């Protein structure tokens, strides 16, 4: 079975809060969506946080996983060896979750999609993340 995790993060400076949005697809059909608001964060924290939360949902072995993000920060730091100077604790949690999931699914790939460019699921996750970032908390 092929699974896809699409993630996005949002941040509102006027409210100093952000949100994450994610969708899991199984064979291109939505099987789960999730969003949540967070206070005192940054946009990059939300982009990375969405991937971390998505990885936490994986509990059983799967054949392959594609993680789709519009964040070059996430893609670059996760796959291209970019320096992880900020959000060190989040990156440590990413590494824990990624290692755990890698044991359940040895075939994991990351794909960058251009944000706000008409990609159906990226736009959907953006709406989830922005809506979460606007919640009153």
CATH code, domain carrying 115: 3.30.420.10
Q: Give the residue numbers spanning the domain of 26.
A: 2-133
pLDDT in tens, 101-137: 999 999 999 999 988 788 899 999 999 999 999 988 6
**How many structural domains does the chain have?**
1
Question: Contact, 50 vs 129, CB < 8 A?
Answer: yes
Number of other CB atoms surrounding residue 1 within 10 Å: 9
pLDDT in tens, 5-32: 999 999 998 889 999 999 999 998 999 9
Question: Contact, 97 vs 56, CB < 8 A?
Answer: yes
Give this prediction's pTM.
0.95
């Amino acid at each position: 079975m092929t699974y896809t995790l699409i993630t996005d993060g949002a941040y509102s400076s006027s409210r100093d809060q952000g949100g994450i949005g994610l969708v899991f697809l199984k064979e291109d059909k939505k099987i789960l969506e999730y969003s949540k608001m967070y206070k005192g964060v940054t946009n990059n924290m939300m982009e990375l946080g969405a991937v971390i939360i998505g990885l936490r949902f994986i509990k059983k072995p799967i054949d392959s996983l594609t993680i789709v993000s519009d964040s070059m920060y996430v893609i670059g730091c996760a796959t291209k060896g970019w320096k992880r100077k900020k959000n060190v604790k989040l990156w440590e949690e990413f590494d824990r979750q990624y290692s755990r999931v890698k044991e359940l699914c040895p075939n994991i790939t990351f794909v960058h999609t251009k944000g706000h460019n008409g990609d159906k699921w990226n736009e959907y996750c953006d709406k989830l993340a922005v809506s979460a970032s606007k919640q009153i908390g």
